[in-house]
Amino acid sequence: MKHKGYSGTVRFDDDDEVFHGEVLGLRDVVTFQGTTVEELKRAFEDSIEDYLDFCKERGEAPDKPFSGKFLMRIEPSLHRQLYELSADEGESLNAWVARRLEDLAKG
């Protein structure tokens, strides 16, 4: 689920017959629930709007959806190997790694 760049994850509770969800990537815990898909989607969007309003009222910047940047620490020898592989294929290391991660995510 996505709304304004934020993503949510959902689970179904068999006992209560309700969907429970949480907005991902926030330091704050933002949850939502619904008994139908339509109700769940509406609750997800409402929860994000409430979160943004809450941050505004407190004068705080809301956590932003993922920026697309992440820092990764690896051994220098591996760093060199990956750089050389990317250079052999005529790509920057960032582009080379991103392409391979996309391939992994696609399965």
Q: pLDDT tens, 37-67?
A: 999 999 999 999 999 999 999 999 999 887 7
Query: Any idea which fold 2-58 has?
Result: Double Stranded RNA Binding Domain (3.30.160)
Q: Looking at residue 65, what is its pLDDT? A: 80
Per-residue model confidence as pLDDT tens for the chain (107 residues) = 999 999 999 999 999 999 999 999 898 999 999 999 999 999 999 999 999 999 999 999 999 887 778 889 999 999 999 999 999 999 999 999 999 999 999 98
> Measured in Å, how far apart are the chain's first and last C-alpha atoms?
20
Q: How far apart are alpha carbons 12 and 28 in whole angstroms?
A: 22
Residue 94 to residues 16, 63, 67, 76, 103, Cα–Cα distance (Å): 46, 25, 15, 16, 14
Q: What are phi and psi of 105, to 5 degrees?
A: -65, -30
Its pTM surpasses 0.75: no
